Amino acid sequence: MNFDYNLYRQEFPILERKINQKDLIYFDNAATTLKPKCMMEEMQKYYLMGAANIHRAVHTLGEEATLLYENSRKKVAQYIGAKKTEEIIFTKGTTEAMNLLATSLGLSFLKEGDEVLISQMEHHSNIVPWQLLREHRGIKLKIIPMNLKGEILIDEYKKMLGPQTKIVSVVWVSNSLGTINPIKEMIDLAHQNKSLFIVDAAQAVAHMKVDVTDLDCDFLAFSAHKIYGPTGLGVLYGKEKLLEKMPPYQGGGDMISSVTFEKTTFNTLPYKFEAGTPPIAEVISLKAALEFVEKIGLEAISQYEHTLLTHAENKMREIPGISIIGQAEKKASVLSFISEQVHPHDMGTFLDQEGIAIRTGHHCTQPVMNFFDIPATARASFCFYNTKEEIDFFIEKVKKCLEFFA
């Protein structure tokens, strides 16, 4: 395909850096994406020329900041196909969104003995909150199994759905395997069972079109920093009728309607779930990041990233002693691998000396590592500013690493 990555690479000044006297090759995009200048300019503009709090002041700066903040909420709603801006809640990230859901849904929807289904490939942020709820509420946490290719066993999932299954919470794209799960089919099956469905879209949102209306998911969460936006910011989408029934997650400023020592009444959606001063600059700058992605086009991004992944996997399979972990039929641009000779941490350190940034470790998916009976993997994850030439250099240095440790 004809994709001119050079048009977009210049938006990322960090790619001009030298690491250990080598050109930076950034293959850690699943952990966090790099930040384009347009996003940073919006954040800087707010801090330099308009740093006021929102929803409180009648002065010009406050009204300007509030308008920019709420315009960003509208942009997020449009970007993910939400019907109403009231269904968009800003959080600190996907992790806080999952904790909010486990807490608020746990208080309002779940009782002892009710079941929550998650998959075997979940990130810790979609495991630990439900475990905490299990301790406090006595719910049952059940695990949807996967096969050795890293694919959810749909037939087993169907069997697990039952009258006690109140919530299914599943990752759309695995951060450690790259697997793209059949999330729409899973949502339909859950709804046939009258179960709620939560989508962890942290790894999906930058690589494919997200349309919550088409998916008909009940909730969906993602982190801004996974889609060329700022850190410390996340988005939780929820159907209005469900959010209305849920109690607040935190108490404090801006989530209230009135407060007395006897009683507090809560604000309307979405503010009921946004206690305290939010990350205003980050929210404002997220709009620019989403518009930047839209300008390139998600379909073009997805196609190009797929060519990068295919190229990298084909090259990696030619190296003796290397095993790819996660070989699902449908994958995002994540390449996790292990070596018979070299520990992933040593691999990562060696490649860093060549200016190549990859991720090593369990990637906050320790149950996945346990399933494959490995301590960790090395993970290269690609996006649209990466190139085949970078991948070729990376493969060459992986071979050099194996020779060095041999």
Which SS3 state, helix, strand or coil, does residue 357 take?
Answer: strand
Report yes or no: 53 and 33 within 8 Å, Cβ to Cβ. Answer: no
Rounded Cα–Cα distance for residues 281 and 131 (Å): 33
Confidence at residue 399, expressed as pLDDT on a 0 to 100 scale: 98
The tokens of 153 are what?
């066993």
Q: Which residues of 166-175 are buried (b: 16+ CB within 10 A; e: fewer)?
A: bbbbbbbbbb
Q: What is the pLDDT of residue 160?
A: 98
Question: Residues 172, 180: contact at Cβ < 8 Å?
Answer: yes
Q: What's the confidence (pLDDT) of residue 74? A: 98
Cα–Cα distance for residue pair 89/37, rounded to 1 Å: 25
Please give the CATH number for the structural domain made up of 6-29+297-405: 3.90.1150.10
Examine the residue annotation and report whether 364 is marked as an active-site residue of this protein.
Answer: yes
Rounded CA gap, 28 and 382, in Å? 7
Under 8 Å between Cβ of 332 and 226: no
Read off the amino acid at residue 250.
Q
Q: Measured in Å, how far apart are the chain's first and last C-alpha atoms?
A: 39
Residue 15 makes CB contacts below 8 A (sequence gap 6+) with 9, 24, 26, 34, 385
pLDDT of residue 1: 59
Q: How are beta strands 165-171 and 18-19 bridged, if at all?
A: unpaired
The one-character DSSP state at 157 is: H
Mean pLDDT by 10 residues, the chain (406 residues): 83 96 98 98 96 90 96 98 98 98 93 97 98 96 98 98 98 98 98 98 97 98 98 98 95 85 90 94 98 96 97 97 97 97 97 98 97 97 97 98 94
Question: Domain spans of the chain?
Answer: 6-29+297-405, 40-294
Report residue 391 as tokens: 């991948």
CATH class of 40-294: alpha beta
Distance CA 63, CA 85 (A): 18
Measured in whole angstroms, the distance separating CA 51 from the mean position of its chain's CA atoms is 28
Collapsing DSSP states into helix, strand and coil, what is residue 347? helix
Nearest to 130 by CA among 359, 334, 367: 367
Task: For tokens 């759905």, name the residue.
Answer: 161
Q: What is the pTM of this model?
A: 0.96
**166 Cβ contact list (under 8 Å, min separation 6):** 109, 110, 114, 115, 116, 195, 196
CB 52 within 8 A of CB 64: yes
Q: Which of 38, 364, 383, 401 is catalytic?
A: 364
